[in-house]
Amino acid sequence: MKLQKASAAAAGALVLALTVTACGGDSNDDSSSGSGGGKITIGIKTDQPGIGLQLPDGSYAGFDVDVATYVAKELGYDAKNIVWKKAPSAERENLIANGDVKFVAASYTINDERKKKVDFAGPYLLAHQDLLVRADDTSITKVEDLNSKKLCSVTGSTSAQNVKDKLAPKADLLERGGYSECLTGLENKAVDALTTDDSILAGFAAQKDLQGKFKLVGLKLSDEPYGIGLKKGDTELKTKINDALKKMVSDGSWEKAVQANFGPAGYKNEPAPQIAD
């Protein structure tokens, strides 16, 4: 920003305006206040039904949204004071490190590589890689059945490559730009199965216009413990979020959120995982 020619007064006014209107920075994300009067910016997925989805009216829904809303309330923020920020998988660490969000709840699997860059609260859900097939398909009951069948996933998916490389090398892997394209192909019998985390598959299959059309095979091809990502070294916030997650489980809100977002797909979820201290 070029301010060399601006007067000192104008520059001061600009700085004041930016301070007042900014949202998502640490100055407004004061989780220690507990007053509910400030704003908190939270990173979520916005294109995953059942997990995190921006609805046509601009609101957001999904299991991660429910979890994040509950946690924010325990930190002292009303739902109306949450600023939701899109957190694509490749940007989650940057959003946290730059202070653009207070925390991220976005189907964020905890692993050693990510723990080098961010801290995690949780886990709050244990997902597994699975397959989604048509409801009337009885030919796919195990991963080896994918040999000589068409398997769909998004471009660059490690889940699909895992199946192709290690589990069903003769599968015909088709990569598409988004899961919705795979679902259309699955419905039209252009492909035989779709693979990714079972929670994501259940979220898509639970959509009203798709209920009853698909089913999860029920395989556990990997463990995907979802955690809430936050800035490295923020032990105070991590403890507060873990306490909130434990309360969500103990008061029944966690199970209610699971059933509301995944239940229509017949998702057989794991019990709430043990939350780290």
28-126+225-265 shares its CATH topology with 129-216: yes
Domain regions of the chain by residue span: 28-126+225-265, 129-216
Could you say which architecture CATH assigns to the domain 129-216? Answer: 3-Layer(aba) Sandwich (3.40)
Q: What is the pTM of this model?
A: 0.80
The CATH code belonging to domain 28-126+225-265 is 3.40.190.10
pLDDT tens digits in sequence order for the chain, 277 residues long: 433 434 444 444 433 333 333 333 443 455 434 444 599 999 999 989 999 999 999 999 999 999 999 999 999 999 999 999 999 888 999 999 999 999 999 999 999 999 999 999 999 999 999 999 999 999 999 999 999 999 998 876 778 888 888 899 999 999 888 888 899 999 999 999 999 999 999 998 888 888 899 999 999 998 999 999 999 999 999 999 999 999 999 999 999 999 999 988 888 889 999 997 7
What would the DSSP string read from start to end of the chain?
Answer: ---TTS-HHHHHHHHHHHHHH--SSTTT--TTT--S-S-EEEEE-SEETTTEEE-TTS-EESHHHHHHHHHHHHHT--GGGEEEEE--GGGHHHHHHTTS-SEE-SS-B--HHHHTTEEEEEEEEEE-EEEEEETT--S-SSGGGGTTSEEEEETT-HHHHHIIIII-TT-EEEEESSHHHHHHHHHTTS-SEEEEEHHHHHHHHTSTTTTTTEEE-----S-EEEEEEEETT-HHHHHHHHHHHHHHHHTTHHHHHHHHHHGGGT--PPPPPPPP-
In this prediction, residue 5 carries a pLDDT of 38
pLDDT of res. 90: 86
